[in-house]
Each structure stands twice: as structure tokens, then as C-alpha cells.
Amino acid sequence: MAGAVAASDFQGATHLVPFEEDNLQYGKTVATGPIARLQQQLDTGDVTLTWDDQFGYLPAILKALKVPESSQMLVFSKTSFQRDRISPVSPRAVYFNDDVYVGFVPGSPLLEFSMADPKLGGVFYGFENVRTNRVKFVRTDNCLECHAGAKTMGVPGHLIRSFATDDRGVADLLSGGELITHRTPLEDRWGGWFVTGQHGSQRHRGNLVGAEAFARQQTEPNFAGNKTTLADLPPPFDVTRYLEPTSDIVALMVMEHQAHMHNFLTRLNYEATLQLKAYGHCNYIKSPLEAFLRYLLFVEEAPLKEPVTGSAEFARDFVAEGPRDSQGRSLREFDLKTRLFKYPCSYLIQSESFQALPPELKTRIYRRLEEILSGEDQSETWQRLTAEDRKAIREILVATLPDLPKSWKR
Ligand code: HEC
């Protein structure tokens, strides 16, 4: 599949990083991210979760973790942990914000959480969604069986797939090998997912359940596309079992950008940590760093051929977060005409995960970024960034990143 995880992201090395060994100690290190912090507040009684008769603790947890309900996306392929419960009549819902991902299957007592921990990268929790007065997020490494491997750059991380499925949601494993990222052309995305939102004549594999649907797509392109809400599909399941009537196309595109970005940050963090321990510097991370910059700056993004429109709620909730510069500009603003974002530089540069990278590595990233954004580096690789793009991104970063070197302020 074109545009999936490029082998060059890590010089083809997708081997598992030895993250359990002495220098990284993944399993023994305490997580410090939003879920660990919420658990502390729950233990001290500073926060309590309200039980909902239909959804259990889900709405209260989303609220406490500031994960917007509008980010809901539904996946029906039997590809994840609770696959026996997941199917086109009972899809799994996924919700997310900048550092937390939540999995919910109606009727299942298990809520699943993955998150981008500033130190550890991908960390996984289960949560028993039954009424109790001692709610508990349980960190578990069982999830790494799938969530740490070649698809996640060899580190504990996040997965987004696209498979053709049969009527029951069983994935045809030959129909999609790689992780979906912002580089993946739309026509290869969303197999096994429901998708709401407008995308014109651009085709995708969402909303196609079973071989017949895939065959019909050949003669009647987009017969299942361009649906505003799930009720327009109509889906083979009961929409009222979910918090929202959408599985938003823009939320999907954002998450696909973000998940690989998180994996990349984790891998860079581990590599730099290991090199710093071994050599006292991380100067050997050269080509992965360039690959990271290409991903950060969207230079290999699959272009949109026509505009995309998702739910107004998700767009509003997503753009509302995060810092703006004095002209009101934010890296979270959407373009959605020819590309995902108005300013092609990942908003995750402002995240805790990026900010927690080893300072030696961050210095190197900032140095290269300055060369590219100032226009000093005019090489072919960065040609998709116009002089205007570079200037705007540079100005937004200067206004919103407190730890940029002084040379940027000139
Ligand atoms: C059998 C393989 C498998 C196992 C085991 C597994 N997952 Fe996943 N997970 C997936 C796949 C594949 C996806 C991509 C979405 C999909 O297909 O449902 C995913 C996606 C997710 C997501 C959405 C964001 C992300 O991180 O990719 C969450 C949250 C998640 N899993 C949590 C968990 C937790 C918690 C566990 C352990 C209790 C777990 N998973 C175990 C395969 C697995």
C-alpha cells in the first residue's frame, strides 16, 4: 500500500527496541501522564466519576480527561483486543485528544485506554466499567502483544489499520498491511471503519461491509460515501448505543496523523536516551531525524483532491484547544481543501510528549527546523512548504514555544 509507514522512517529498522532492559525500564517506570494524574485525583477524592445508566463511567471519564465526545470514530473490523464483541452490528468506538485514546464497545465491561506518556511513550490501561466506589485504571502490558511491533516502529505505540472485511467484520489480512498515516492516500483508508462527512468524488474504503459492498463500490463509486451522520447510512447497528451519531472523517484524519507522530516521538526518545547513555551525545540520530522532520512538516502528506467536511462539533472542539499567536493563528486550524491543516506543522510540537524529549535531541530538531523555516535550507525535500508557510509556521512557533533558542527571536 502506498504512503504507509515508510521504511525510511527508521532506516528500515522496525525491530523491537529493548525497552524492558536497564537503560529504558519501560515496565518498571511509573507513568506520569493524564491517566496516572486522574487516578491520583480519584484516590484522594479530588475528582469523582458520575455513573451513567447507559454508558457507565465513559462520559465522566471523557470529561475528566478532556477528550471530546465529538472525536468519536467507529471501527467494525475484528482487529483489536475485544474482537469477539466487535462486528458491523457492534462496532467499537474510539475517542481521542492530544495524549489519550479511549476504546469503548457497547455492552462490554472493559474500557480500553492508550496514551502518550511524556517519558514512556505508549502506555496502556484497562478500566472495568461497572458501578463501584473504587474506580481504577489498571496499567497493563498485555496489550503490547499487538501494540509494540513493526507497525508501531518497534516501540509501545498506537495502531490504525485499514482492512477489507467480510460481513462479520473479519479482516482480510492481505488487504492492508501497514499503519495508516497522513501519507496514506484516501482511497486506501478506512477499511473496517464507518465514516461520516463529505469528501466529494474521492473514494475511500469506509462504510464497506463485506465483499458485495466492495464489488458495488467498483460500479457505483461512493454509494456508501458522503454521509452526514450515521443515520444516513443506515448502519447495521443501533446508533443510540453510542454517544454521537458520527464517525467523523476529520477526526479520523487527525488521529491518523497523530498516532504515527506519537510512535515517532517515542522511538526518537528511546533512541536518543540509549545513545546518550552509551556515548554521552545523540549525534548519530541523523536520517531518522530528517524523516521525523518530513513527517512533522507534512511534506509527504497525501494531497486532498477535493475538499473534505466533517462535523462542526469536532472541528470546533479540536481548534479550541492549544495556544494561538498574537494574530490569533494556531497550528490546529484546518485547511481541508488541499491538505489537512492550514499551517503544515504538527500541533504535537506543543505537546508534553515533544517537550519531554531529551534536551540534546530537541536542540538538534530546533536547529534543523530553523534552517528549513528560515528558508536557508532550500533543498527539494521541503519544496512543498511555500515561503508563506515557512514564515507563518516560524512566527507561530516563536509565539507559542517557550524553549526555542534565542536565535529564533531575531
Ligand atoms: C489483537 C491485537 C490487539 C491487542 C491485544 C490490543 N489491541 Fe488495541 N488496537 C489493536 C488494533 C488493530 C487497533 C486499531 C483500531 C482497531 O482496529 O480497532 C487498536 C487500537 C487501540 C486503541 C486506539 C488508539 C491506539 O492506541 O491505537 C486503543 C485505545 C487500544 N487499542 C487499547 C488497547 C488496550 C488497552 C489493550 C490491552 C488491554 C489493547 N488495545 C490490546 C489491536 C490490539
Q: What span, in angstroms and rounded, lies between the C-alpha atoms of 325 and 398? A: 9
The closest alpha carbon to 344, from 379, 394, 381, belongs to 394
Instruction: Give the residue, out of 78, 146, 181, 193, with the most ligand 1 atoms within 8 A of its beta carbon, to mutate for a pocket test.
Output: 146
Residue 166 has a CB neighbour count (10 Å cut-off) of 14
pLDDT class of 6 with cuts at 50, 70, 90: low
Is the pLDDT at 368 greater than 50, yes or no?
yes
Which of 341, 352, 295 minimizes the C-alpha distance to 117? 352
* Residue that has been written with the C-alpha cell 510512535 in this structure: 263
Report which protein residue has its CA nearest ligand 1's atom 6.
81
Domains in the chain: boundaries: 251-409
Q: Which residues contact 22 (CB under 8 A, 6 or more apart)?
A: none
Ligand 1 and 169: CB distance under 6 A: no
Taking the CA of residue 159 as reference, the ligand 1 atom at the shortest distance is 27
CA distance 395 to 119: 28
CA distance 14 to 105: 31
Q: Is the CB of 142 under 6 A from ligand 1?
A: yes
Query: Ligand 1: which atom is nearest the Cα of residue 160?
Result: 14
Tell me if the bond preceding 234 is cis, omega within 30° of 0: yes
pLDDT tens sequence across 110-168: 999 999 999 999 999 999 999 998 999 999 999 999 999 888 999 999 999 999 999 99
Q: Nearest-CA neighbor of 186 among 405, 50, 1, 382? A: 1
pLDDT on residue 4 = 43
What is the pLDDT confidence band of residue 7, given thresholds at 50, 70 and 90? low
pLDDT per position as a tens digit, 168-196:
999 998 888 778 999 999 999 999 999 99
Burial class (CB within 10 angstroms; exposed 0-12, middle 13-18, buried 19+) of 405: exposed
Q: Using an 8 Å Cβ cutoff, are 253 and 72 in contact?
A: no
**Mean per-residue pLDDT, 36-51:** 96
Q: To test ligand 1's pocket by mutation, which of 112, 151, 254 has the most ligand atoms within 8 angstroms of CB?
A: 112
CA pair distance 233, 196, nearest whole angstrom: 9
For residue 222, what is its C-alpha cell?
Answer: 461512493
Q: How far apart are CA 385 and CA 378, in angstroms?
A: 10
Ligand 1 contact, 137 CB (< 6 A)? no
Cα-to-centroid distance, 81 and ligand 1 (Å): 6
Q: How far apart are CA 5 and CA 387, in angstroms?
A: 28
Name the nearest CA neighbour of 257 among 195, 191, 183. Answer: 183
Verify whether ligand 1 is closer than 6 Å to residue 101 (CB atom).
yes
Q: Check if 143 has its Cβ closer than 6 Å to any atom of ligand 1.
A: yes
The HSE-up count of residue 237 (CA atoms within 13 Å, CB side) is: 26
Q: What is the pLDDT of residues 326-367, one digit of tens each?
A: 999 999 999 999 999 999 999 999 999 999 999 999 999 999
CA of 219 to the centre of ligand 1 (A): 34
- CA-nearest residue for atom 36, ligand 1, is 143
CB 169 within 8 A of CB 192: yes
**Summary mean pLDDT of the chain:** 94
Angle 350-352-353 from CA coordinates, rounded to 5°? 100
Dist. CA 364–CA 372, nearest whole Å: 13
Cell representation of residue 218: 467498483
Question: What pLDDT, on a 0 to 100 scale, did the predictor assign at position 16?
Answer: 85
Residues 71 and 243 sit within 8 Å (Cβ to Cβ):
no
Distance in Å, CA 116 to ligand 1 centroid: 14
Atom of ligand 1 nearest to the CA of 102: 29
Q: How confident is the model over 54-81, as a mean pLDDT?
A: 97
Q: Is 260 in the pocket of ligand 1 (CB under 6 A)?
A: no
Grid coordinates belonging to 168: 462479520
| Beta carbons within 8 Å of 83's beta carbon, 6+ residues apart | none
Dump pLDDT digits (tens) for 312-329.
999 999 999 889 999 999
Distance of CA 137 to the CA centre of its chain: 21
